Amino acid sequence: MLGAGHILVQRYGDILDGKRTWQRELSFSNVVPTLPDAVAGDITAAMPYRAMTNIINFIQAVDQVVPGFAAAETLLYSPELKFYSNRVKMDDTFTTNIAGFYSLGDSSGWTRGLMMASIMGVLMGRRLATEEK
């Protein structure tokens, strides 16, 4: 894994220059990462070309409205990728084939958004509350 299980962070200027961001460089940057567990790296190595091109185009478009948005030291965190077609096999009580492992929300592949994911959380909470008695 590129980030050793952590989210990658990269300076926008480094992306445009075609180079990775190193942790040492990041420590001298004017912009301090807000996610302390993020690991400096090369987001472009983890993202499909088309997705990266769209992200860069978006940043450049926003910069037209918000000057400075596309500054070289702007930090990008690796985006969340969702694969909705991958569904965890489970029953109607969210029980999987792994003892004690339950899958809820978007990570289960059964919901697509906050409302349905929240409902799954409420249903699981009710289940746990009745099991505790």
Q: How far apart are CA 92 and CA 123, in angstroms?
A: 10
pLDDT digits 0-9 by tens, 64-119: 999 999 999 999 998 655 555 678 888 888 888 888 888 888 778 788 778 888 89
Cα–Cα nearest to 46, from 16, 90, 94, 79: 79
Domain ranges of the chain: 8-77, 82-133
For 93, residues 6+ apart whose C-beta sits below 8 A from its C-beta are 127
Please give the share of the chain, as a percent, with pLDDT higher than 90: 37
Residues whose CB falls within 8 Å of the CB of residue 83, separated by 6 or more in sequence, listed in order? 109
Q: Which helix (H) or strand (E) holds 77?
A: strand 75-77
| Beta carbons within 8 Å of 121's beta carbon, 6+ residues apart | 104, 105
pLDDT at 121 over 80: yes
